[in-house]
Amino acid sequence: MPQKRPKQKDVNDFIKKGSTEPTETENRSTENSTTNVSLRIPTDLLQSIDALVAARRPSPSRHQWLLEALWEKVEREKDSE
């Protein structure tokens, strides 16, 4: 049975209702927030990374492997300061 089309007034009321503004807590950055980054990686390096990823059991995603590598590098740099 086809769905009944909503009345235009109901649609307009729904749109006008909108959503609430973010609270202060929602606006704050958290440690778990993320930012998308594009990387240009040489093909041979990426192939080496993929081989290392495939060799691990259980095999992490390439994304997870790269995050682990980045965190290890950050920690080494902090320790050398």
pLDDT tens profile 22-42: 665 555 555 678 899 999 999
Query: Residue 54's pLDDT is what?
Result: 95
Q: How far, CA to CA in Å, does 74 sit from each of 1, 4, 22, 68?
A: 59, 57, 32, 10
pLDDT band per the 50, 70, 90 thresholds, residue 71 = very high
Give the separation between CA 34 and CA 55, rounded to whole angstroms: 28
pTM of this structure: 0.57
Per domain, the residue ranges of the chain are: 41-81
Indicate whether 18 pLDDT > 90: no
